Amino acid sequence: MSKQELEVIGQDTACCPGLSAAPLDENQAADLAKVFKALGDPVRLRLMSMIASRGQGGEVCVCELTPAFELSQPTISHHLKLLRQAGLIDCERRGTWVYYWVLPGVLDRLAAFLTTSTQPARADA
């Protein structure tokens, strides 16, 4: 598959501090908004869950994803394309089928961003 049009975001491990660590700058907020927008659709969230549940390095064939939805194959492909463009998953064509996997570290970076410290910040500290 051509990757010319894909702009993978959030691949820098130092992308963003945690949500409560420091305010996001404009670019960080724009990058994260793309990711959360991609995950904001129930179909895409389910697709992401189905792919991620294969574990570290696991992959899933589109032929296994499509039957889980009452949507056409082109619609499923569109949702998968949006997840790829958000930098969450990648894919490879093997003959007739396309296999998808979660990009390494993506879920960990999202979790780290959403995690707050266990110690509440003090205003007078």
| Spatial distance between the Cα atoms of 71 and 85, rounded to a whole number of angstroms | 21
Measured CA to CA in angstroms, residue 27 lies from 14, 30, 38, 45, 94 at distances of 13, 5, 17, 24, 36
- For the chain, 125 residues long, give each residue's pLDDT as a single digit of tens: 444 343 444 444 445 556 666 788 898 888 888 999 999 999 999 999 999 998 767 899 999 999 999 999 999 999 999 999 999 999 999 999 999 999 988 888 888 888 876 555 555 55
Q: What's the pTM?
A: 0.74
